[in-house]
């Protein structure tokens, strides 16, 4: 497997693949990076942080594009990339439209496929949508499956994937988290300097994020109503980097923009966000990656989703599902803010997603192939 094409298109994928790209370069793989730019601005921030220059930039992002539109664009462009680079292996990550269509494109040319973060499942094809079916599709066509946990490996075994093609690695996001923590320079990052002036870190910071489709509409409005109530708890400040998608941004600004101790800020670059996450007291989010990262920092996570493909975090006690029910979100957050024993139990739980050596395990496997 000398020639490896690494494909990604969103910020979360870039975060989770960046250290792997660097690790393969250290071991003298011939690595090319292809980005679809499914997310443009947020993707570019991560590429700059990790000093990765794409060899192929499809630049396919356009406003309000549908899943079918972006899929057709990726299909039409990938033939050119695959014919030009002629990879032995295409590596994709997780469950995005970019990952599924790039994998499918490689399959159509009978090129081997490696799936990083393989085997996550809810078995509800509409939750999360479209991610659940994306990851199942990739699971059917991939040749090598890099599973973050034993549970995700067991999911693949139940689906008939042969044991010899599955490697339990931990999650590469922990590798990226540790790399970033080691390389943060607070004095040079302008956004971190601004955050220090904006936020009252003498208070307990509740960090909030939201972006998933299933929370568009009533979901995000209910979440915002819960945040209004949480903001009334003494010694508490809410910080919400607001996603650019108008389905999130418009209701958030409408409901929360006039509350003194709720700080609505622009989306953060990855380095700034990791710094802020380390400063937070607890986190309310619908993000999959944060469910994996936060436990390594000792931060309890309330997940504003009805299902999660990361049951290991539930079992470990590092996260709790609260859905988009305003009362449930408030009650769980209030308990963590007012009950130190409950907080300590979640904060001190062991992170089930590894110790930051996932990329080394993936590279060791590929060297032998």
Whole-angstrom Cα Rg for the chain:
20
What pLDDT sits at residue 212? 84
pLDDT, tens digit, for every residue of 90-139?
999 999 999 999 999 999 999 999 999 999 999 999 988 999 999 999 99
Check if 3-171+355-367 and 186-347 are the same fold: yes
Residue 206 parent element (H or E)? strand 204-208
What pLDDT sits at residue 78? 97
What pLDDT sits at residue 185? 86
What pLDDT sits at residue 87? 98
Q: Which residues are catalytic?
A: 95, 117, 131, 211, 213, 243
pLDDT, tens digit, for every residue of 236-265?
999 999 988 899 999 999 999 988 899 999
Residue 7 CB contacts under 8 Å (≥ 6 apart), including other chains:
33, 34, 35, 36, 90, 91, 92, 98, 99, 102
Residue 38 CB contacts under 8 Å (≥ 6 apart), including other chains:
9, 10, 60, 61, 70, 96, 97, 98
pLDDT, tens digit, for every residue of 38-83?
878 778 989 999 999 999 999 998 888 899 999 999 999 999 999 9
Q: Which residue has better confidence, 336 or 311?
A: 336
* Cβ–Cβ under 8 Å, residues 193 and 296: no
**Residue 255: burial class (beta carbons within 10 Å; 0-12, 13-18, 19+):** middle
As a residue count, the chain comes to 369
pLDDT, tens digit, for every residue of 112-121?
999 999 999 9
Q: Give the 3-state secondary structure of residue 318.
A: coil
pLDDT, tens digit, for every residue of 321-363?
999 999 999 999 999 999 999 999 999 998 999 989 999 999 9
Question: Is the CATH code 1.10.3720.10 the one for domain 186-347?
Answer: no
Q: Number of helices (H) and strands (E) in the chain: give both, helices first.
A: 16, 13
* Cβ–Cβ under 8 Å, residues 353 and 170: yes
Tell me phi and psi for residue 203, to 5 degrees. Answer: -95, 165
For the chain, the average pLDDT equals 94
Q: Which CATH architecture has domain 3-171+355-367?
A: 3-Layer(aba) Sandwich (3.40)
111 half-sphere exposure, CB direction, 13 A CA radius:
28
* Cβ–Cβ under 8 Å, residues 56 and 33: yes
pLDDT, tens digit, for every residue of 151-182?
999 999 999 999 999 999 999 999 999 999 99
* Cβ–Cβ under 8 Å, residues 221 and 251: yes
Q: What value does the mean pLDDT take over residues 179-198? A: 92
CA 347/CA 326 separation, integer angstroms = 23
Model pTM? 0.86
What pLDDT sits at residue 134? 98
CA 15/CA 296 separation, integer angstroms = 16
Closest C-alpha among 269, 197, 201, 259 to residue 225: 259
Return the domain boundaries, the chain: 3-171+355-367, 186-347
pLDDT-based confidence at residue 1 (cuts at 50, 70, 90): low
What pLDDT sits at residue 336? 97
């Amino acid at each position: 497997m000398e020639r490896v094409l690494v494909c990604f298109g969103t910020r979360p994928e870039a975060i989770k693949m960046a250290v792997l790209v660097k690790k393969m370069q250290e071991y003298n793989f011939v690595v090319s990076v292809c980005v679809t730019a499914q997310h443009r601005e947020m993707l570019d921030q991560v590429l700059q942080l990790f000093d990765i220059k794409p060899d192929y930039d499809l630049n396919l992002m356009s406003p309000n594009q549908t899943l079918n539109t972006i899929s057709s664009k990726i299909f039409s462009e990938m033939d050119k990339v695959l014919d030009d680079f002629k990879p032995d292996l295409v590596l994709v990550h997780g469950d995005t439209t970019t990952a599924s269509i790039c994998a499918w494109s490689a399959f159509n040319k009978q090129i081997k496929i490696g799936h990083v973060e393989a085997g996550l499942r809810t078995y509800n094809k509409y939750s999360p949508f479209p991610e659940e079916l994306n990851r199942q599709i990739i699971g059917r066509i991939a040749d090598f499956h890099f599973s973050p946990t034993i549970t995700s490996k067991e999911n693949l075994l139940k689906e008939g994937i042969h044991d010899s093609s599955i490697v339990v690695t931990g999650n590469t996001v922990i590798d990226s988290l540790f790399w970033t923590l080691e390389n943060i320079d607070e004095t040079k990052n302008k956004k971190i300097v601004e955050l220090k002036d904006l936020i009252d870190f003498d208070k307990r910071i509740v960090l909030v994020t939201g972006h998933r489709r299933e929370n568009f509409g009533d979901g995000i409005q209910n979440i915002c109503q819960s945040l209004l109530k949480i903001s009334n708890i003494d010694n508490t400040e809410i910080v919400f980097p607001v996603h650019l998608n108008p389905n999130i941004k418009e209701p958030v600004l409408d409901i929360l923009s006039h509350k003194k101790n709720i700080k609505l800020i622009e989306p953060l670059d990855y380095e700034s966000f990791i710094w802020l996450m380390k400063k937070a007291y607890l986190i309310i989010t619908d993000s999959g990656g944060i469910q994996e990262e936060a436990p390594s920092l000792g931060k309890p996570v309330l997940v504003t989703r009805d299902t999660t493909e990361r049951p290991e975090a539930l079992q470990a006690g590092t996260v709790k599902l609260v859905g988009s029910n305003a009362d449930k979100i408030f009650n769980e957050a209030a308990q963590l803010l007012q009950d130190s024993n409950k907080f300590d139990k979640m904060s001190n739980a062991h992170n089930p997603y590894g110790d930051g050596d996932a990329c080394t395990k993936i590279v060791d496997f590929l060297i032998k192939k």
